[in-house]
Amino acid sequence: MNKENTMSNSGKLTKEQDSTLQGSLQVAVGGEIHQIAGGEHQALTTNQGVALSDNQNSLRANPSGPTLGEDFILREKITHFDHERIPERVVHARGTGAHGFFELTTSLKQYTTARILTEVGEKTPVFTRFSTVAGGAGSVDTPRDVRGFAVKFYTKEGNWDLVGNNIPVFFIQDAIKFPDLIHAVKMEPDRGFPQSATAHDTFWDFISLTPESMHMVMWIMSDRTIPRSLRMIEGFGVHSFRLVNDSGESTFVKFHWRPKLGLQSTIWDETVKISGADQDFHRRDMFDAITSGNFPEWEFAVQLFTQEEADTFPFDHLDPTKLIPEELVPLKVIGRMVLDRWPNNFFAETEQIAFCPSHLVPGIDFSNDPLLQGRLFSYHDTQLSRLGTPNFHQIPINAPKCPFSNQQRDGHMQMAQQAGRVAYEPNSLSGESPRETPTNGFHSAAVTETGVKGRVRAASFADHYSQARLFYISQTAYEQAHIASALVFELSKVEHVHVREAIVGHLRHIDEALAQRVAAGLGFGKIPNAPVPARPVQEMQPSPALQIIGKMKDTLMGRTLGILITNGSDGAVIDQLKRAATSAGATVKIVSPKVGDVKLASGLMLSADGQLAGCPSVLFDAVAVLLSDEGAKALSVESAAIDFVRDAFGHLKAIAVDKGGQALLKIANVGQDAGVVDANDQAAFIAVAKTRQWNREKSIRTLA
Ligand code: HDE
């Protein structure tokens, strides 16, 4: 037993407790005696430290009598169990987190006093949590959804939480609309479905009446919301923040994370099938990568600009439905984040971590973005109901790693035992009590605010379509087709025809051809009218940086090759392919009709990693099908094998085949193209396996 993982006060047993438990242990279960492997065991105790003599049976009046109320051991155990759950997050409930570090590579000393952004080479511990937004904690990893990308930096000057998403803009401009947005997207309240999906009436109804969401709608209908891996998503702080230097001057900043493995998404049909094949696809992928030493890594970059520069932008950077094109303000890479340690305990760390955008360090400050302003109290507030106490900062995952001290006292679950007579400030009775730090303490940016108070939306926030159009026209033809198909899919699930029509009306301001395509996909006889825009749409230069395909890397790093084999397969070909793929950075999994040993043609045995029905090709980035003639024959009547190759082809993956594999492709009616390669030509296969076969798509799928 790992003593670190047990709840014990000192980790050591007292002499009295240690009646020890050396060697093998006998446990009586249901009248049978089970022998459990030996070793040195800690005593199993109650929460009061009392050693248990029997953890299998409650205290009963007699062998067939009632259980006695005096059984404090039973009561303690069941009571604790009854209270194990805490409220899940109201949004972003489903998440996956890991520990790591941030390392600064370029100093921003000119712009900020924040030490984390000025000390080159310094490694700051971080905990990063990725999440979906709409689904509950037990929902699948792969719905079409935004991904949260929240980083807690445990800096020497206090905790800084950068609570972002994998999309640089948001649905709404003002925090007061957030509860409406979330009520619209979550499962409908009268029926309790759909779980984690935007494809339903209430979501699209709200969107159709909220034109400011059109830019975000383009992003969520793109393949950004169906990522291949959390290791392959970008992250964005979304809002403008301020950096403040030692002269008190402030500069605006947008924060970006860029994945070292490049961006990569899945194909919609593939995503749907992954959800069935592995509900924990992203969590498992992250776990596997970190525990096998393939640590995920991101570049940290900033866009810096002054108020004067912002005044020249054709949009208001304080409007969170707008991004700043990289072509307008280039990204400056200033550091990297590596996630290198999986948590010990999911609940204690990933569930209990509490992010708050209001957690800032000196040298960084907020902007007036009204969405950000609303977030500044929401997160702390939600932690109070989620974690149940204002002392949630004392939970180890939330506690700063630098000293912290103040006169706040008491409250539920107070862990600190603050000594002394003084719990107020200023005081003259204690020489040791904490004092203000006038120079290095937190200073808000010196900003002048004037004007008339009111519930108003800035006139500069009125342009709702220009950047939606910018996003759409910046995509490759494949990506545009995926957006159109996603819109048709989503709107086809909406029962109210007027809602479908309203959305297509909005699309006309984004791109007339897109609107036509979606209207045709929905079977409309004519294209619905477009609403009158508050501002005319501005034509902007396309920004290729907004593509996914443009940001993919031709690589097998971090990807997985699945090799389907049967008894009688050629071990030499398997081995050569495996070696070529591994040296290109891929992980290789052997799949066969039966899990366990496969007898190769040579008579040697090879152990399979997975069984065919449980390892469909959607779990891999590229596949190889290496079969004996008998194997091909046997698999020709196996629907899981037919699906394996059909799906690999349909999801635009490279396929390596030998003679048996080729026979299976023929039976499955799978075509031939440049992405289907002879398994003996490993170099050719590795070259095509590094990317998806985009050219194939138009020949196999009607898009939109
Ligand atoms: Fe959040 N959001 N949010 N959000 N958000 C929460 O806080 C909220 C917004 C984001 O892994 C909640 O601890 C409001 C934008 C992430 O634990 C809650 C508004 C962005 C996470 C909350 C927004 C985000 C949350 C729920 C509009 C991208 C998960 C549980 C004003 C920049 C963090 C919790 C984690 C979580 C409120 C909009 C990102 C209720 C009121 C914009 C990544 O406080």
Residue 590 has a pLDDT of 98
Q: Tell me which residue has its CA closest to atom 19 in ligand 1.
A: 375
Residue 89 marked in a binding site: yes
Q: Per-residue confidence at 702, pLDDT binned at 50, 70, 90?
A: confident
How many residues are listed for the chain in this entry?
Answer: 704
CA–CA distance from 171 to each of 94, 219, 322, 346 (Å)?
20, 10, 10, 30
Pocket of ligand 1, candidates 90, 92, 216: which has the most ligand atoms within 8 Å of its Cβ, to mutate?
92
Model confidence pLDDT, tens digit, residues 72-123 = 999 999 999 999 999 999 999 999 999 999 999 999 999 999 999 999 999 9
Residue 492 has a pLDDT of 98
DSSP letters, 40-97, are: --PPPB-TT-PBPS-SS---BSSTTSPBPTT-HHHHHHHHHHHT---PPPSSS-SEEE
Return the structure tokens found at 366.
Answer: 């907020």
Q: Tell me which residue has its CA closest to atom 41 in ligand 1.
A: 375
User: Residue 350 is inside which H or E element, if any?
Assistant: none
Q: What is 556-700's CATH superfamily? A: Class I glutamine amidotransferase (GATase) domain (3.40.50.880)
Pocket of ligand 1, candidates 163, 166, 398: which has the most ligand atoms within 8 Å of its Cβ, to mutate?
163
Query: Is 70 exceeded by the pLDDT of residue 651?
Result: yes
Query: Is 80 exceeded by the pLDDT of residue 39?
Result: no
Query: Is 80 exceeded by the pLDDT of residue 36?
Result: no
Q: Quote the strand ranges of 193-331, DSSP E.
A: 235-236, 241-244, 250-259, 297-305
Residue 2 has a pLDDT of 39
Query: Is 50 exceeded by the pLDDT of residue 403?
Result: yes
**92 Cβ closer than 6 Å to some ligand 1 atom:** yes
Amino acid code (one letter) for 201: D
Query: Is 90 exceeded by the pLDDT of residue 412?
Result: yes
Q: CA 84 to CA 263: how far, in whole Å?
A: 38
pLDDT, the chain, mean = 95
What percentage of the chain reaches a pLDDT higher than 70?
A: 94
**Is 165 one of the annotated active-site residues of the chain?**
yes
For residue 527, what is the DSSP state? P
Q: Per-residue confidence at 9, pLDDT binned at 50, 70, 90?
A: very low
Residue 37 has a pLDDT of 67
pLDDT (mean) for 454-475: 98
Pairing of β 95-104 and β 123-132: antiparallel
Query: Is 50 exceeded by the pLDDT of residue 652?
Result: yes
Cβ–Cβ < 8 Å for 59, 100: no
- Domain residue ranges in the chain: 1-84, 95-167+226-394, 556-700
Query: Is 80 exceeded by the pLDDT of residue 11?
Result: no
Q: Tell me which residue has its CA closest to atom 30 in ligand 1.
A: 89
For residue 251, what is the DSSP state? E
**333 Cβ closer than 6 Å to some ligand 1 atom:** no
Candidates 159, 165, 166, 398; catalytic one: 165
Cα of 500 to ligand 1 centre, how many Å? 28
Q: Per-residue confidence at 30, pLDDT binned at 50, 70, 90?
A: low
Query: Is 50 exceeded by the pLDDT of residue 6?
Result: no
Q: Per-residue confidence at 14, pLDDT binned at 50, 70, 90?
A: low
Query: Is 50 exceeded by the pLDDT of residue 1?
Result: no
pLDDT (mean) for 612-621: 97
Return the structure tokens found at 684.
Answer: 């050719």
Query: Is 90 exceeded by the pLDDT of residue 15?
Result: no
Q: 678 has which bridge partners? A: 657
Return the structure tokens found at 321.
Answer: 């439905």
**350 Cβ closer than 6 Å to some ligand 1 atom:** no
Q: Per-residue confidence at 340, pLDDT binned at 50, 70, 90?
A: very high
Assess if CATH 3.40.50.720 describes domain 1-84. no
Q: CA 75 to CA 544: how far, in whole Å?
A: 62
Residue 674 has a pLDDT of 96
Among residues 526, 482, 489, which one has the least CA distance to residue 508?
526
What percentage of the chain reaches a pLDDT higher than 90?
A: 93
Among residues 110, 92, 193, which one has the least CA distance to residue 147?
92
Residue 582 has a pLDDT of 98
- Top pLDDT among 35 and 662 is at 662
95-167+226-394: which CATH number, 1.10.3470.10, 3.40.50.720, 2.40.30.10, 2.40.180.10?
Answer: 2.40.180.10
Residue 129 marked in a binding site: yes
Degrees to nearest 5, angle at CA 402 with 116 and 391: 120
Q: 159 has which bridge partners? A: 154
Q: Per-residue confidence at 703, pLDDT binned at 50, 70, 90?
A: confident
Query: Is 90 exceeded by the pLDDT of residue 606?
Result: yes
Model confidence pLDDT, tens digit, residues 480-536 = 999 999 999 999 999 999 999 999 999 999 999 999 999 999 999 999 999 999 999
DSSP letters, 135-194, are: S-TTS-S-SS--EEEEEEEEETTEEEEEEEESSSS-S-SSGGGHHHHHHHHSPBTTTTB-
Residue 25 has a pLDDT of 60
**Is 92 one of the annotated active-site residues of the chain?**
yes
Residue 29 has a pLDDT of 61
Q: Which atom of ligand 1 is nearest to the CA of 163?
A: 43
Model confidence pLDDT, tens digit, residues 59-74 = 999 999 999 999 999 9
Equal fold, 1-84 vs 556-700:
no
**165 Cβ closer than 6 Å to some ligand 1 atom:** yes
Q: Tell me which residue has its CA closest to atom 29 in ligand 1.
A: 92
